[in-house]
């Protein structure tokens, strides 16, 4: 009976805490706080004062996919801006897929965006950000990696952790270019719907549809990344 009572109490506390957290998430989704937390992860100390000699494209959740395509798009921008920089694509390969392996798909995506593939190197053995950075350091051991200006291209939520990992391993000049997307402009949505623009009540529903739910997703993304940062910190990787 005592055990059953304790289980009920724990279940009650779990439901109570979950409800409070969910309520806080919903309240915050009506503010800009989730976006700025997401933006901070993608921009904090990410500036690079020197022209990069190396662009590191981290693979993310694989290819093809929205995350991987966005990273390739931003990496191609950086490659065109700095035509002398080498490019390392860091993503585990899928040997069973051959020509459709993720690193080859990412390389092809760069190629169709006018990037010379002779500039591209591959790091396909690392299984997380830490091992990828270690392998890249080994690849550059003859080129004084401590002094090479490096620009990392990855998703915004992953940028802070990536920069910390590379700096922990001794890369002195490392910055980032977050693969932020270009969202639909709310004003354009209103402008294109002339009847909609006359109805204030429906305009408010746009804010709920396009802001609230997006901010809820930002909250989940940020919380997941904070857990990953805590794990890396406990392991001494950052």
pLDDT in tens, 95-128: 666 678 889 999 999 999 999 999 999 999 999 9
pLDDT in tens, 137-181: 998 877 666 788 999 999 999 999 999 999 999 898 999 999 887
pLDDT in tens, 185-197: 555 445 554 554 4
pTM, rounded to two decimals: 0.83
Question: Burial, 72: exposed, middle or buried (Cβ in 10 Å; 0-12, 13-18, 19+)?
Answer: buried
Q: How many residues does the chain have?
A: 238
Residue given tokens 């503010």 in the structure block: 31
pLDDT averaged over every residue in the chain: 85
Among candidate residues 37, 120, 36, 128, the one with its CA nearest the CA of residue 72: 120
Residue given tokens 């910190």 in the structure block: 233
What domains sit in the chain, N to C, each tagged with a CATH number?
A: 41-178 (3.40.50.620), 184-238 (no CATH)
Q: Would you state the pLDDT for residue 81?
A: 95
pLDDT in tens, 199-230: 555 555 556 666 788 888 999 999 999 999 99
Q: How is residue 235 written in tokens?
A: 């392991």
**What is the rounded CA–CA span in Å between residue 150 and residue 159?**
13
């Amino acid at each position: 009976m005592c055990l059953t009572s304790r289980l009920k109490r724990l279940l009650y506390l779990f439901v109570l805490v979950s409800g409070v957290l969910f309520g806080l998430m919903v309240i915050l989704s009506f503010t800009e706080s989730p976006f700025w937390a997401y933006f901070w992860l993608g921009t904090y100390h990410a500036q690079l004062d020197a022209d990069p000699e190396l662009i590191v494209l981290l693979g993310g959740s694989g290819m093809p996919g929205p995350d991987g395509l966005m990273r390739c798009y931003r990496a191609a921008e950086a490659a065109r801006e700095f035509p002398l920089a080498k490019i390392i694509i860091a993503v585990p390969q899928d040997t069973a897929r051959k020509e459709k392996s993720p690193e080859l798909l990412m390389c092809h995506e760069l190629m169709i965006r006018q990037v010379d593939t002779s500039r591209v190197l591959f790091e396909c053995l690392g299984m997380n950000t830490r091992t990828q950075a270690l392998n890249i350091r080994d690849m550059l051991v003859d080129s004084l990696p401590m002094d090479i200006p490096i620009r990392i291209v990855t998703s915004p939520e992953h940028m802070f952790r990536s920069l910390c990992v590379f700096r922990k391993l001794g890369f002195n000049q490392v910055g980032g270019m977050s693969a932020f997307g270009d969202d639909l402009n709310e004003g354009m949505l209103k402008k294109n719907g002339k009847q909609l623009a006359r109805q204030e009540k429906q305009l408010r529903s746009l804010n709920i549809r396009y802001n609230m739910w997006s901010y809820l997703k930002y909250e989940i993304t940020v919380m997941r990344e904070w857990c990953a940062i805590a794990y890396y910190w406990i392991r001494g990787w950052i």
